[in-house]
Homo-oligomer: A and B are copies of this chain.
Amino acid sequence: MRVLPLFFGLCWCALAGAATPPPAPTQASGAGAVFAAELQATANRLVGQALQGNTAYAIVESLATEVGPRLAGTAAEARAREWAVAKLQALGFSNVHIEPFEIPLWLRGVETAEVLSPYPQPLVITALGASPATAPEGVAGEVVAFASLAQLQRVPAGSLAGKIVFIDEMMTRTQDGSGYGVAVAKRLGAGVAAARAGASAALIRSVGTGRDRFPHTGLMLAADENAAPAVPAAALAAPDADQLRRLLGRGQPVSVKLVITPRSLPPAPSGNVIAEIPGSQAPAEIVLLGAHLDSWDLGTGAIDDGAGIGIVVGAAQLLLEHLPHKPRRTVRVVLFGAEEVGYGGARAYALEHAQELPRHVIAAESDFGTGDIWRFDTAVAPERIAAAEAIGELLRPLGIGPGSNSARGGSDLGYISKAGVPVVDLKQNGWDYFDLHHTANDTLDKIAPGDLDQNVAAYAAFIYLVADSEVSFR
């Protein structure tokens, strides 16, 4: 959606929406106490520019069209890195380079399923990432349904020999995406729990909120904590999970057959792509802006995470193009590789830049689709909350409400956050995100030009305020 260009300071009290009205802004308190008026005015200009036009949509259009799907470790992900280097250089960034690393490669194969009895018919599935393969001719068995992973974990070990388990748990639609954390447990753990129970394979209701016939892929655990391997596992599209539920409700035993033939291959090249706006006065101090370059293989990675790439590159590019001077600190854009298959890029970055992490002033990642930002969360030292709140105040004219100090910082920031780098969440509305997430339907047409503008405006203002000031969050 589009947001009118409301400039900072014009009307943020009216928009704040807090139960207790905030105090009126003055130069002596709130944002004014942290950021000089000139800084605020410049941030305002960046917001105005972002809302009037920016490169975010063109960037995701280019990535989703000219690369398309880019599973980690594949030639397509390598093409995405080449695309990113060329794009970031063309936009005028400095120090554009690839930091390579390797990850285990998993490639999807055939994936079919069918009800054998009592009512023969095909079912639409997709293999979960890292799943082992079935035999080429597949595996068949009677279905045993569970309402949750926890329920499956409670059955006696070895008690489901020859069965195929079906975890039929719905995902709750939420604005903040919290339904995902609950629902993803069954995706991660179904294969291992089914193996422990002695079953031949596992089916789950897709981790997703949509009603359309798209199965949602995503990573699973290929082995438990004792390295005992999982059984093959796949996700049913929601209509097929409904169908299997109805069939089981008829009261007769239901047998299904499942064929999935993915291959787990030796480590393959991945990499992070890095670009910078070098700081003019404190270039060693880093404001990190992240998104991930890899995608699942089924869609074209437009919302996951082409949108995030567009948002962070588009925001940084506004600073490059519209500031009269380079910011004090270095703005570093990191396009992580291999996020979907286990945060390989996040780990590689934390290792490669370990010496530098103490000089990372703050980090933020965009990886939640196209929804407007509705909340600003931080994870900073208690004595730095005032500075964080000052930024939050300045974001309110964009419809962004106050948040908490319990930000998690995006999946690619996990390692550096643990290492002490302060993180923030510019939390997007995730109401519809899991309709498309990890499906074949994650394609460019789901993003309209302008959808990303409010995000670009918020990120541009945020990184500018931190990069061109001396504020600390440590």
Contact = CB atoms under 8 A, between A and B. Distances in A.
A441 B440 CA distance: 13
Contacts of A120: 75-76, 79
A246 to B, nearest CB: 5
B65 A243 contact: yes
A433 to B, nearest CB: 16
A446 to B, nearest CB: 8
A79 B213 CA distance: 24
- Give the interface size class of chain A: 35 or more
Contacts of A124: 440
A122 interface: yes
Given A119-B66, A121-B69, A444 B76 contact: no
A79 B239 CA distance: 21
Contact of A444 (B61, B75, B239, B444): B239
**Max chain B CB contacts within 10 Å: which of A66, A75, A439?**
A66
A186 B67 CA distance: 29
A57 to B, nearest CB: 13
Given A214-B213, A247-B65, A242 B121 contact: no
Contacts of A119: 65-68
A211 interface: yes
Nearest to A68: B121
B239 A441 contact: yes
A233 to B, nearest CB: 22
Interface in A45-80: 61, 65-69, 75-76, 79
Interface in A223-282: 238-239, 242-243, 246-247, 250
A443 interface: yes
Given A69-B122, A119-B68, A243 B213 contact: no
Nearest to A441: B213
A468 to B, nearest CB: 37
**Max chain B CB contacts within 10 Å: which of A61, A212, A300?**
A212
Closest 3 interchain pairs by CB? A68-B121, A239-B443, A213-B441
18 contacts: A65-B119, A65-B246, A66-B250, A68-B119, A68-B122, A75-B120, A76-B120, A79-B120, A121-B300, A124-B440, A212-B212, A213-B443, A239-B300, A239-B443, A239-B444, A239-B445, A242-B445, A243-B443
Given A242-B445, A243-B444, 11 more contacts: A65-B247, A67-B119, A68-B122, A121-B300, A213-B299, A213-B439, A213-B441, A238-B445, A239-B300, A239-B445, A243-B300
